[in-house]
Amino acid sequence: MVQLHTIMAPVLALIVWTFVMWVWMYATRIPAMQKAGVDPAKIKGQETYGLLAGIPARVHWVADNYNHLHEQPTVFYALCTYSYLVGAREGLVLWLAWGYVAIRVVHSVVQATSNYVPLRFALFALGSACLILMTARNVWALLHS
């Protein structure tokens, strides 16, 4: 039976989504690099990013999003782990965790397809609000225990 009512389920869902983006990144990047004649052995760091100039922006958008899934979501993972350990794993915290995952998925799709920055920013801010509210709920529980 799937246990969607545990705080660790959204954690697993976002990890799965991160690997979906990993597949999407390589499914677009490798063919684009081959088409542009980019030799991966010559890419050694920032000074050689010019070699990637022939890669379409849409390909970079997917890679950028994959990288973004290793930034703010680390706070999400830590917060969910903390919530689990202290027993704040249901109700509002659980809804906010699932909301954060849904927002990150939509954010990924927007960034990888249109990269419309005003919408991306709004989604990022909404996701951040979920994390802030989860944090506030945990602080409240700590102070009132």
- Taking only the tens place, the pLDDT of each residue in 13-24 is 999 999 999 999
Question: Number of structural domains, the chain?
Answer: 1
Residue 50 has pLDDT above 80, yes or no: no
**Which backbone phi and psi does 43 adopt, to 5 degrees?**
-95, 110
CA dihedral 105, 1, 87, 98 (to 10 degrees): 20
Q: How far apart are the C-alpha atoms of 133 and 123, rounded to whole Å? A: 15
Q: Is residue 106 part of a domain?
A: yes
Q: What percent of the chain has pLDDT over 90?
A: 79
> pLDDT tens digit string along 66-121?
999 999 999 999 999 999 999 988 899 999 999 999 999 999 999 999 999 999 99
CA dist 129 and 137 (Å) reads 12
* Range(s) of the domain holding residue 123: 8-143
Average of per-residue pLDDT values in the chain: 92
Angle (CA) 122-101-67 rounded to 5° is 75
Identify whether 3 is part of a domain. Answer: no
The reply to whether the predicted model has a pTM over 0.85 is: yes
* 76: in domain: yes
Tokens of 97: 């965790």
Q: How confident is the model at residue 49 (pLDDT cuts 50, 70, 90)?
A: low
101 domain residue, yes or no: yes
What pLDDT score was predicted for residue 40?
82
CATH code for position 114: 1.20.120
Distance CA 125, CA 73 (A): 13
Q: Is residue 47 very low, low, confident or very high in pLDDT (cuts 50, 70, 90)?
A: low
Domain-located, residue 2: no
